Chain A
């Protein structure tokens, strides 16, 4: 009975205080890609990511009902930092779906033009709004409507406080300068505005600061599918050195094998937690990753196959691009070339024989790179023009009498370097039996069979990395080696490594390609995810470095092309490789067959 009364009371208060029109709700997830394109369209930075924002507490006057019910003190407000733009997970401000949807696009546009504005956050928002309203008549209509509706909704609440009057007053675009006395804290939170980054509300009108943003965007863990984000109280427990490991790291592996060290944090994903989280209004989050394995960042430098992987020399150093400083970090990354030795030569696996045959037939059928040769003594066709020439010749006895033409094969002027990402993530399964790494191996083998047929020059390298000090660059086949059963064995012996420092691998590959005498150079990259590494090589840093490496390659006359099985590739690959510079294979199993086709399309004459 008590519970029942509680529910009724709760519903009553909710209706009185909740202003969201949940039936007209628009979800961020449905619109995220469109918003991203729109962000670019409005001139936003192409490496910025789009994320869902956390709830933030706002101190503002509340109606009595709201105070009792506890609603109305937290809002999902949009904000941005140098890495990403954070938008509400859903928008239901208005009783009109179209209007709610346009709100998303409005916010995206606001964020894109925000950097051009100056002054306090209130002023900047007004300037940005004004820009948009003046530039786009459609936004003018929207803004007028949205503001009118917002004010009507405020007035429904009857007793207007001073702050709410201030709110209405502040929305007038004509009076930007006279409004500068307001601070954004004084004004009722407004869904069409961009707010300061969460955690910095006290440092309101400060310009962008130099330091790392206070929260890593990764904290929006993809595995947690909470429909709404919660207010996060962040504990400052991010510093790894603060923790205390009660045992020697050497013994860690053996302990892990027996017991789960930290009982309070289970490695498995807790569905109850998710359920509970939806009911909670506030969750205090540690800023560490959820599971133990991800939390202890330690180089467990155990070679995955000691007896066989043979480093060639101590490696050499190359540069890396730091987008924040806008300079190269000289000799920052160490490349360690590795070859596998003591491996047994193998034949083409049976499962691939049929596919190989078919790909080869396809290549023949397409009559690739066949050139016409006329004026032959004998051939497939009569060349009419040489006959005409004969007829028109003054002294026919001098004519060579060669009237035939034929097609012949000519090796093409292409050098292709295949670069395979063999980071740990390739260990993941596509189906129960098949891992990504298996598909990559099959692809490489089929590719070799196909290119063998064409007589094109190619090399294969694979890479994975462990921080900047150890980028492992596996030599599978260099340009000079002929394709043989030994190469097949090298491919077969590929194992998932560590992380993906893509920029470094591209630079190293470019260096190798540059030395090839051919006029056309193709760098074909097989990848399964974003560039990332254990250190700061993650998110925007990794993307910008990779982008730089790609530009460098293009300058050397190399054509980079990426084939990926990452279904989220559309988020970042267009920026890295350009629209026509990559292909996404949604079904990983199709990669082996798709790869030769892609190659044909790229090099078709």
Chain B
């Protein structure tokens, strides 16, 4: 089995395990590319639970989660959605970017996310009691600028929340090395670049460079790509379209990796 690499930041693994044993639902928030999805997958492996991932979008209906009737040659039959499947069979149901879903959709989670742990399916009149191994996990990125998107407080308050940020420099360095096989000196420089860029968050750029982007850059470099070019394409290019900002970011890269012509 292919094991997911995950490096603990603070106490999230213990917390998740504790929550899993108590069957409490978990809410994870954090900026993009900081390891939310990776964390869930690695926890699934660790606890030996299947992970059902649903990426939420604004057209996601309750039927997409719960299930619906379909037709075949012998008539109609009921098809479980990912949520009902996880509820029946046990496993982690992971709703990624939950604020993208409409608020009325997420209401179906309410009875699952409190002490009742049941999922009523009104179309079939069924009331599924959650499997002992069923666990509900949702995640979102709080950095978006839209006042209408957000979670209903009544939904929010049914979860234990875990806040993710970017890893500490030491951890991030280890992650980058582990993921890409790049050598330590290069990893150190990449982390230094990221640390500087993250100071611009909230004032000059909307969201700072993610660990994911650093890993991309490191992967390019370890494959023999020129470090300056790798950083320009994977880190700088995807952060902004503002020329002056790009110039400054390029300058920062040059301070670490000498410039080469493309």
Give A residues with C-beta under 8 Å from B.
33-34, 37-38, 40-43, 46, 105, 135-139, 141, 385, 388-389, 391-392, 412-414, 519-522, 559, 574-575, 578-581, 602-605
* In contact, A138 and B258 (Cβ under 8 angstroms): yes
* In contact, A34 and B145 (Cβ under 8 angstroms): no
- Chain A residues, Cβ within 8 Å of B203: 40, 46, 574-575, 578-579
- Bound complex: CA A42 to CA B200 (Å): 9
- Chain B residues, Cβ within 8 Å of A138: 254-256, 258
- Bound complex: CA A580 to CA B244 (Å): 17
* In contact, A41 and B200 (Cβ under 8 angstroms): yes
* In contact, A605 and B68 (Cβ under 8 angstroms): no
- Chain B residues, Cβ within 8 Å of A42: 196, 199
10 further A-B pairs in the complex, CB-CB below 8 A; given A578-B206, A605-B102: A33-B244, A37-B248, A41-B249, A136-B192, A389-B123, A391-B69, A519-B150, A574-B203, A602-B147, A605-B149
17 contacts between A and B (CB under 8 A): A34-B247, A37-B244, A37-B245, A38-B252, A136-B192, A136-B255, A138-B254, A138-B256, A138-B258, A389-B69, A389-B123, A392-B77, A412-B148, A520-B147, A559-B147, A579-B202, A579-B205
- Chain A residues, Cβ within 8 Å of B248: 34, 37-38, 41
* Chain B, 149-198, CB within 8 A of any chain A CB: 149-150, 189, 192, 196-197
* In contact, B244 and A135 (Cβ under 8 angstroms): no
- Chain A residues, Cβ within 8 Å of B244: 33-34, 37
- Bound complex: CA A43 to CA B203 (Å): 12
Chief secondary structure at chain B's binding surface: mixed
Q: Count the A-B residue pairs with Cβ separation under 8 angstroms: how many?
A: 101
* Chain B, 224-262, CB within 8 A of any chain A CB: 244-245, 247-249, 251-252, 254-256, 258
- Candidates B75, B78, B256; contact of A136 at CB < 8 Å: B256
- Bound complex: CA A41 to CA B58 (Å): 36
Residue B1, interface by CB 8 Å: no
* Chain B, 76-134, CB within 8 A of any chain A CB: 76-78, 102, 123
Known: A37-B204, A392-B69, A580-B206. A139 touches B75 (CB 8 A): no
* In contact, B148 and A414 (Cβ under 8 angstroms): yes
Number of interface residues of B (CB under 8 A): 40
Residue B70, interface by CB 8 Å: yes
Q: How far is the CB of A202 from chain B (nearest CB, A)?
A: 35
* In contact, A579 and B206 (Cβ under 8 angstroms): yes
Residue B71, interface by CB 8 Å: yes
* In contact, A392 and B148 (Cβ under 8 angstroms): no
- Chain A residues, Cβ within 8 Å of B247: 34
- Chain B residues, Cβ within 8 Å of A521: 147
Q: Which residue of B lies closest to A522 (CB)?
A: B147
- Chain A residues, Cβ within 8 Å of B149: 605
- Chain B residues, Cβ within 8 Å of A40: 199-200, 203-204
Q: How far is the CB of B7 from chain A (nearest CB, A)?
A: 25
- Bound complex: CA A414 to CA B149 (Å): 11
* In contact, A388 and B147 (Cβ under 8 angstroms): no
* In contact, B199 and A43 (Cβ under 8 angstroms): yes
* In contact, A391 and B71 (Cβ under 8 angstroms): yes
Q: Which residue of B lies closest to A42 (CB)?
A: B196
- Chain B residues, Cβ within 8 Å of A605: 58, 102, 148-149
- Chain B residues, Cβ within 8 Å of A412: 148
- Chain B residues, Cβ within 8 Å of A389: 69, 123
Q: How far is the CB of B193 from chain A (nearest CB, A)?
A: 10
* In contact, B63 and A603 (Cβ under 8 angstroms): no
* In contact, A38 and B251 (Cβ under 8 angstroms): yes
Residue B2, interface by CB 8 Å: no
- Candidates B68, B102, B148, B205; contact of A385 at CB < 8 Å: B68
* In contact, A392 and B78 (Cβ under 8 angstroms): yes
Residue B146, interface by CB 8 Å: yes
- Chain A residues, Cβ within 8 Å of B197: 41
- Bound complex: CA A42 to CA B251 (Å): 12
Known: A392-B76, A605-B58. A139 touches B147 (CB 8 A): no
* In contact, B202 and A578 (Cβ under 8 angstroms): yes
Q: How far is the CB of A274 from chain B (nearest CB, A)?
A: 29
- Candidates B75, B123, B256; contact of A137 at CB < 8 Å: B256
Q: Which residue of B lies closest to A106 (CB)?
A: B255
* In contact, B69 and A388 (Cβ under 8 angstroms): yes
Q: Which residue of A lies closest to B185 (CB)?
A: A137
Known: A138-B255, A388-B71. A43 touches B196 (CB 8 A): yes
Q: Which residue of A lies closest to B255 (CB)?
A: A138
* In contact, B69 and A603 (Cβ under 8 angstroms): no
Q: How far is the CB of B103 from chain A (nearest CB, A)?
A: 10
- Chain A residues, Cβ within 8 Å of B69: 385, 388-389, 391-392
- Bound complex: CA A415 to CA B206 (Å): 25
Q: How far is the CB of A335 from chain B (nearest CB, A)?
A: 25
Q: How far is the CB of B95 from chain A (nearest CB, A)?
A: 19
- Chain A residues, Cβ within 8 Å of B76: 388, 391-392
- Chain A residues, Cβ within 8 Å of B252: 38, 41
Q: Which residue of A lies closest to B63 (CB)?
A: A385
* In contact, A579 and B255 (Cβ under 8 angstroms): no
* In contact, B255 and A137 (Cβ under 8 angstroms): yes
* In contact, B147 and A603 (Cβ under 8 angstroms): yes
Q: Which residue of B lies closest to A139 (CB)?
A: B255
Q: Which residue of A lies closest to B145 (CB)?
A: A580
Q: Which residue of B lies closest to A604 (CB)?
A: B146
* In contact, B123 and A604 (Cβ under 8 angstroms): no
Q: How far is the CB of B80 from chain A (nearest CB, A)?
A: 14
- Bound complex: CA A604 to CA B58 (Å): 11
Q: How far is the CB of B105 from chain A (nearest CB, A)?
A: 12
- Chain A residues, Cβ within 8 Å of B196: 41-43
- Candidates A139, A579, A604; contact of B204 at CB < 8 Å: A579
- Bound complex: CA A148 to CA B203 (Å): 37
- Bound complex: CA A392 to CA B68 (Å): 10
- Chain A residues, Cβ within 8 Å of B245: 37
- Bound complex: CA A53 to CA B189 (Å): 34
- Chain A residues, Cβ within 8 Å of B199: 40-43
- Bound complex: CA A579 to CA B143 (Å): 11
Q: How far is the CB of A94 from chain B (nearest CB, A)?
A: 17
Q: How far is the CB of B46 from chain A (nearest CB, A)?
A: 36
B123, B189, B204, B256 — which one has the most chain A CB atoms within 10 A of its CB?
B204
- Chain B residues, Cβ within 8 Å of A139: 255
- Bound complex: CA A579 to CA B208 (Å): 11
* Chain B, 6-30, CB within 8 A of any chain A CB: none
- Bound complex: CA A580 to CA B196 (Å): 20
- Chain B residues, Cβ within 8 Å of A46: 203
- Bound complex: CA A96 to CA B23 (Å): 67
- Candidates B78, B102, B148, B202; contact of A603 at CB < 8 Å: B148
- Bound complex: CA A602 to CA B149 (Å): 10
- Bound complex: CA A580 to CA B202 (Å): 8
Q: Which residue of B lies closest to A369 (CB)?
A: B148
Q: Which residue of B lies closest to A605 (CB)?
A: B148
* Chain B, 38-95, CB within 8 A of any chain A CB: 58, 63, 68-71, 75-78
Q: Which residue of A lies closest to B251 (CB)?
A: A105
- Bound complex: CA A41 to CA B11 (Å): 30
* In contact, B148 and A520 (Cβ under 8 angstroms): yes
Q: How far is the CB of A368 from chain B (nearest CB, A)?
A: 11
- Bound complex: CA A153 to CA B73 (Å): 91
- Bound complex: CA A137 to CA B244 (Å): 23
- Bound complex: CA A579 to CA B203 (Å): 5
- Bound complex: CA A408 to CA B78 (Å): 30
- Bound complex: CA A144 to CA B146 (Å): 49
- Candidates B68, B145, B254, B255; contact of A581 at CB < 8 Å: B145
- Bound complex: CA A34 to CA B250 (Å): 11
